[in-house]
Chain A
């Protein structure tokens, strides 16, 4: 068991190296996409060719083939990109108002603008605190559960609401100045959702274990021992 664990741990750096040695051509796209026609809410098209500028920052610097192939592509809303490129006014409307995208401190490819650690630490310490109060009898079980269920529900509603809006915007090709702030709140609320769900699983750990028992017939070692005891006493 110990050897297996060490073996698995040793293979992690090799696996990471294999993953990272892949594509590094799209330096500015946070997802590493190349010639993206709009897969996320960070789509910016200043050049008006229908391809996200972030995903082609290094790709277009290559051969002339890449520039011709990019003009052949059509935008996801169905309009021909080459026509858009010829027209100055269309070109301006096709962009995502770059002034909003870069001036508000929203640097693409930089994930540092999200408060991942502070929010996570705040939530975990908050749970530890309420759990301590509950264990000491200051907070009753119902209230303890209610607080975390409410937070989780808020996280789910916020994340799913903003997420569905973002999908609609991406699918319909709507680019507004709201997109960065929507993405920001989607991420922040999803941290609440993820940490909240893990806490939810911890609070309802007994029904959670029971779920595997009901669906797959798994039994925890404690239950197995209990069953054996019951069998012995019945004999």
Chain B
């Protein structure tokens, strides 16, 4: 089994660039662009994070169902999307991210 890496990443990169261009061009509001990607990160988290958690609980309890392999596959694929969209999330909230990781004294004014 080889997992697809391009399918869960490339369309999302293109999608983000698309909505970002629309927002920068003034066609859509920033609110819509940010909320759309917040929704996508939520959906990816629901499949990957919650799916992985269910998988973990099933393993801990010792339940083996035909659903497990499918769940594992989609957990991995959605995990790739989640990783990528998390980077976009950091980018969307860059001011807060900067404050979070770099203390005030270390920040360089631009």
Decide yes or no whether A215 CB sits under 8 A from chain B. yes
- B35 near A167: Cβ-Cβ < 8 Å: no
Decide yes or no whether A178 CB sits under 8 A from chain B. no
Counting residue pairs across A and B whose Cβ atoms lie within 8 Å, the total is 115
Count of B interface residues, CB-CB < 8 Å: 43
Within 8 A of B (CB), among A37-56: 37-40
Decide yes or no whether A171 CB sits under 8 A from chain B. yes
Cα A215 to Cα B45 with chains together (Å):
18
- A39 near B65: Cβ-Cβ < 8 Å: no
- A26 near B64: Cβ-Cβ < 8 Å: yes
Residues of A within 8 A of B96 (CB): 149
Cα A171 to Cα B2 with chains together (Å):
5
- A20 near B63: Cβ-Cβ < 8 Å: yes
- B65 near A20: Cβ-Cβ < 8 Å: yes
Name which of A64-72, A83-91, A125-133, A156-164 contacts chain B.
Answer: A156-164
Residues of B within 8 A of A187 (CB): 56
Name which of A1-9, A97-105, A110-118, A222-230 contacts chain B.
Answer: A110-118
- B32 near A214: Cβ-Cβ < 8 Å: yes
Main secondary structure of the interface of A (DSSP, over half): helix
Main secondary structure of the interface of B (DSSP, over half): helix
- Min CB distance, A150 to chain B, in Å? 6
- A160 near B83: Cβ-Cβ < 8 Å: yes
Residues of A within 8 A of B79 (CB): 159-160, 163, 167
Decide yes or no whether B102 CB sits under 8 A from chain A. no
- B82 near A160: Cβ-Cβ < 8 Å: yes
Residues of B within 8 A of A193 (CB): 49
Decide yes or no whether B53 CB sits under 8 A from chain A. yes
Residues of B within 8 A of A150 (CB): 100
Decide yes or no whether A199 CB sits under 8 A from chain B. no
- B2 near A19: Cβ-Cβ < 8 Å: no
- B49 near A194: Cβ-Cβ < 8 Å: yes
- A31 near B35: Cβ-Cβ < 8 Å: no
Nearest CB in chain A to that of B41: its residue: A197
B37-81 vs A, CB cutoff 8 Å, 1 = contact: the mask equals: 011001001000110110111111111111111001100100110
- Knowing A31-B72, A156-B86, A214-B35 are in contact, say whether A36-B60 is a contact too (CB < 8 A): no
Q: Which A-B residue pairs are the 8 nearest by beta carbons?
A: A111-B59, A111-B60, A32-B64, A39-B1, A160-B83, A22-B66, A31-B68, A214-B35
Other A-B pairs beyond A190-B53, A210-B35, A211-B39, 13, CB < 8 Å: A31-B64, A32-B69, A37-B1, A76-B1, A110-B62, A153-B101, A160-B79, A163-B80, A167-B80, A170-B3, A194-B53, A215-B35, A215-B36
Chain A residues proximal to chain B, CB less than 8 Å: 19-20, 22-24, 26-27, 29-33, 36-40, 76, 109-112, 114, 116, 146, 149-150, 153, 156, 159-160, 163-164, 167, 170-171, 187, 190-191, 193-194, 197, 207-208, 210-211, 214-215
Chain B residues proximal to chain A, CB less than 8 Å: 1-3, 5, 31-32, 35-36, 38-39, 42, 45, 49-50, 52-53, 55-69, 72-73, 76, 79-80, 82-83, 86, 96, 99-101
